[in-house]
């Protein structure tokens, strides 16, 4: 006799093509949250999702926020525990467009160099593909068995890529509605490797800063003013150069004050994990870790704080040449924070570092682009144990309990605003080129991701 779980898994396998078609439809909506020109597209993505889950039988709605809307769905018809699933439907910009091999908004199936089928397009991995793994798992349960095995609420955010500013306020206002869940599930993370699932238990925080250096009152001719006039590009370069020590560490005073070493048992676990530093770097065309000397790549990218320059501009940047000394130059700089670091303290230390290095005739203005602390998730609860078991059944390998390099502030928001712990489970691969041209999601990530959630829903429903 076929169990409910087997029936739902069989439905997933039999209807994968339709699931991919729905992903293509969602990718085609250009929901770039950072660019005001695309606000209508972000809204359209929210509407499409609400309609989609509404058709599945969820009580669905699009909720206004001060920024982009949140999509909410509820199906509480089953007995048993109550999960709140989160993913985001907004995406990063697609420039530089000329580096894409296919249209970024036309999800395209291609065969990768490793022979695997890939779905290429902006958001296929981050996070539209991951979002739909859960929706399609719910669809399979309902189609195969007439309903879900437990209570499910859904929350889809449209501002994750721009710092998720509206979410904490929204969660606070929806505490009665969403805080009744028992556990939050978030799908915005990676597999450990092609065959090893992962549950993320450490998330770094993020501080974003934009600085603009101003010297002269207007652009100057370098032949008339060169040498004598302070050049803001030179000032900015001097400041950026001062941010890192020759040993690769961050040179801001006090930056590492609140950074703890990894607990010995976690450090030991990470050493045992299958991980190929050289292969990781090679995937990006690199050979040599650039961060703190003596730290492994795993530490540098997952348990150590960063300081990265994400953008810089000043003077004439078009074709040809213009002998100008510009009045202004600016840079976007971000910091990844680990447990214990205070975003406000790091921001203040950075600003002091810059201000202390301003030469005569140079002034600076700062602009804040989000700030969130790191989050740790307990590793010993029953939900985590059940979810890890379900993942092991699907993948044939035990799930890795790891730290994530990226920032997923929603886990902290769920804890603070709703009192909920979060299980961070995702199926992306580290070579998915998220935020970059030719972003992709392996078809196997999508397929086995849906199957994983089908199993996790069954596992969490058990006593």
* Chain residues 100-159 in contact with a second copy, contact rule CB under 8 A: none
- Binding test (CB under 8 A) with a second copy, winner from 2, 59, 110, 226: 226
The correct pick among 47, 182, 212, 238 for binding a second copy (CB under 8 A) is 238
Per DSSP, the residues of 144-190 read: HHSS-SSEEEEEEES-GGGT-TTHHHHHHHTHHHHTT-SEEEE---B
Closest separation in Å from C-beta 364 to a second copy: 15
Instruction: Return the number of the residue (126 or 136) whose C-beta is nearest a second copy.
Output: 126
Q: If binding means CB under 8 A, how many residues of this protein chain bind a second copy?
A: 101
Q: Which is nearer to a second copy, 246 or 378 (CB)?
A: 246
Of 12-20, 52-60, 217-225, 343-351, the window that binds a second copy (rule: CB under 8 A) is: 217-225
User: Of 221, 271, 352, 385, which one interacts with a second copy (CB under 8 A)?
Assistant: 221
Q: How far apart are CA 135 and CA 71, in angstroms?
A: 13
Q: By CB under 8 A, name the one of 25, 34, 117, 339 that touches a second copy.
A: 34
Report DSSP state, residue 66.
S
Q: Is 379 helix (H, G, I), strand (E, B) or coil?
A: coil
Assess 244 for contact with a second copy (CB under 8 A): yes
Considering the complex, what minimum distance in angstroms separates the CB of residue 383 from a second copy? Answer: 25
Strands (E), 58-162: 59-63, 70-75, 82-88, 108-111, 117-120, 151-157
Contact stretch for a second copy (CB under 8 A) within 104-112, 138-146, 354-362, 413-421 = 354-362
CA distance 218 to 212: 14
* Residue 66 engages a second copy in binding (rule: CB under 8 A): no
CB atoms within 10 A of CB 261: 9
Which range of residues in 16-24, 296-304, 410-418, 450-458 is near a second copy by CB under 8 A? 296-304
Q: Out of 280, 358, 392, 415, name the contact with a second copy by CB under 8 A.
A: 280
Residue written as tokens 């029936």? 7
Residues 76-105 that bind a second copy (CB under 8 A): 92-93, 95-96, 99
Select the residue interacting with a second copy from 57, 147, 315, 389 (CB under 8 A): 315
For residue 317, the number of C-alpha atoms closer than 13 Å in the C-beta half-sphere is: 6
Span near a second copy by CB under 8 A; candidates 45-53, 77-85, 313-321, 442-450: 313-321
- Residues 6 or more apart whose Cβ sits within 8 Å of residue 356: none
Burial class from Cβ neighbours inside 10 Å (0-12, 13-18, 19+) for residue 278 reads exposed
């Amino acid at each position: 006799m076929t169990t409910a779980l087997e029936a739902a898994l069989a439905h997933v396998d039999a209807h994968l093509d339709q699931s991919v078609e729905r992903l293509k439809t969602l990718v085609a909506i250009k929901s770039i949250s950072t660019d005001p020109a695309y606000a209508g597209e972000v809204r359209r993505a929210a509407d499409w999702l609400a309609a989609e889950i509404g058709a599945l039988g969820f009580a669905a709605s699009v909720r206004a926020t001060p920024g982009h809307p949140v999509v909410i769905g509820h199906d509480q018809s089953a007995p048993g525990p109550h999960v709140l699933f989160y993913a985001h439907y907004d995406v990063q910009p697609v420039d530089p467009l000329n580096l894409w091999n296919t249209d970024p908004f036309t999800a395209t199936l291609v065969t990768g160099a490793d022979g695997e089928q890939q779905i290429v397009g902006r958001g296929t991995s981050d996070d539209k593909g991951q979002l739909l793994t859960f929706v399609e798992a719910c669809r399979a349960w309902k189609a195969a068995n007439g309903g879900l095995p437990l209570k499910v609420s859904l929350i889809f955010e449209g501002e994750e890529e721009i710092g998720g500013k509206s979410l904490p306020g929204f969660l606070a206002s929806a505490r009665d509605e969403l805080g009744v869940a028992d556990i939050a599930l978030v799908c915005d993370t990676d597999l450990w490797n092609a065959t090893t699932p992962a549950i993320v238990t450490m998330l770094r925080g993020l501080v974003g800063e934009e600085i603009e250096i101003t010297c002269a009152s207007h652009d100057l001719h370098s032949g008339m003013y060169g040498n004598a006039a302070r050049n803001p590009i030179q000032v900015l370069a001097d400041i950026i150069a001062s941010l890192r020590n020759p040993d690769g560490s961050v040179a801001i005073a006090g930056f590492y004050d609140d950074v703890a070493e990894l607990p010995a048992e976690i450090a030991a676990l990470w050493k045992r994990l299958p991980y190929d530093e050289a292969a990781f770097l090679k995937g990006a065309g690199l050979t040599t870790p650039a961060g703190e000397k003596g730290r492994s790549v795993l530490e540098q990218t997952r348990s150590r704080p960063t300081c990265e320059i994400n953008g810089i501009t000043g003077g004439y940047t078009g074709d040809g040449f213009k002998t100008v000394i510009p009045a202004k130059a600016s840079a976007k700089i971000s910091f990844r924070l680990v447990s214990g670091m205070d975003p406000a303290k790091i921001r203040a230390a950075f600003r002091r570092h810059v201000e202390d290095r301003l030469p005569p005739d140079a002034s600076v203005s700062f602009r804040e682009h989000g700030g969130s602390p790191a989050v740790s998730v307990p590793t010993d609860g029953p939900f985590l144990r059940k979810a890890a078991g379900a993942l092991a059944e699907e993948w044939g390998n035990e799930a890795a309990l790891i730290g994530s390099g990226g920032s997923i502030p929603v886990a902290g928001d769920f804890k603070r605003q709703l009192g909920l712990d979060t299980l961070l489970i995702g199926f992306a691969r580290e070579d998915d080129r998220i935020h970059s041209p030719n972003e992709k999601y392996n078809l196997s990530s999508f397929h086995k991701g849906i199957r994983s959630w089908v199993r996790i829903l069954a596992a969490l429903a058990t006593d």
